[in-house]
Structure 1
């Protein structure tokens, strides 16, 4: 049952369908999403989260470009079996264009901090763990990672009842492999991570998406993340590069663009559906965010 994906807390909605996601006790140390992307993404802001992230190309091929915010774009050609690894302290930008006609399907796996930290301690010991962090990897190929991610994919999509023993065993093997082969010890202690855990970020964004027709409510979002409003606002911005209220507006405008592009709903109706009682206010916000009026955007 294809459904529109929940962004991994992105600054605007990913053009993708969420094909499957991990749910239930079998997945208590990792968070997994399977996504089918549209052929073109022109600019996507990827949040910093507390956990290491592995992105594995399941099918398709594409030219993917990434950069630090405001930096120079770096590109790599990827195809099924390639992977990305990031433990980014800050948000970064991403864009891509597919090639070859096959849909670009990817799996995102967030490795929970407890299992990751146990792997670091086991492989390196307490002293070695102090100055260790994972390297950033873009579009590489590793048959061991492909084998482990493939087993995770089967548990996610084929098992009627995913096995907790199997999932946890695969996750442990993946954590140890990443620490052994993709670590760096550069002599400097890793920066303190203030980002939200991925599962909390996802919960908050789902709440935002479910309430696009309602007024922004910081207290409710902070309660969903189990944080005070002040602390929530700070770590949310560290993760996404935007304040919660700005991010909420970005989600509204992403949905407005989708409705203008994919439906025949009137601009007045779209404004009302997104909680704007005044079409002129909606048009003002849209122009500020997108650069053109809703009418011009629809063409």
Structure 2
């Protein structure tokens, strides 16, 4: 496993690394990551604390930082990750979900502990790095990888088909008020048990997950459309532009207007040919 801070050499040109990369921005960091989706379009994600980004091995992507950037990169060699993932999932058949910025308390706690306990990265021992890589690999496998259509979450949460049902309902009603009671009814559970099992599966409360999905969709609309901000706010479930602006700024560090400008500037940067970075 390799631990490093984002440097100038990591920015601008396309990276296609042989490792699983976990990007953990610190409180003052502003990071944009762009990758090519299966449909052929480029997608840019804005990653700022408390969010993190998980970049699968061999995925062409580029990084751009903003003012005050300070991002930790946790890199795990692909063979090590695959072996751990197979053991954690009990399957050789798994694929990564589409990369995106996510709230992940475990990854952030690990990164904070590394920074706090080991300010000098050169002093990290091989045994410590291997243990850390195993922990993170198993966590990523269980939370960012799909393995079989009916696999239940190993944490004792909702079964995969029920999670898909909940995710679909949220996506289809993102512009409306969504109550826990509605989600619980979709999977035939009481609101109490649903909320508990949902958090076991996602490490987020239903309210926080819905809020982050609203923010995520708002980012996509701001970056890809010319819709007025008041319309974007309504499309993602906010009743007033003022409320939307306040919540958006709290979780991204930008107002919607500034984010739209920054995202389009980042997307307009040319992407070069893959460079062949082989760090492990």
Greater relative contact order, per chain length (Cα 8 Å cut-off, separation 6+): 2
Q: Report the TM-score, using the length of structure 2 for normalisation.
A: 0.47
Q: Whose helix fraction is larger, Structure 1's or Structure 2's?
A: 2
- Indicate the structure with greater strand content: 1
Q: Which has the larger radius of gyration?
A: 1
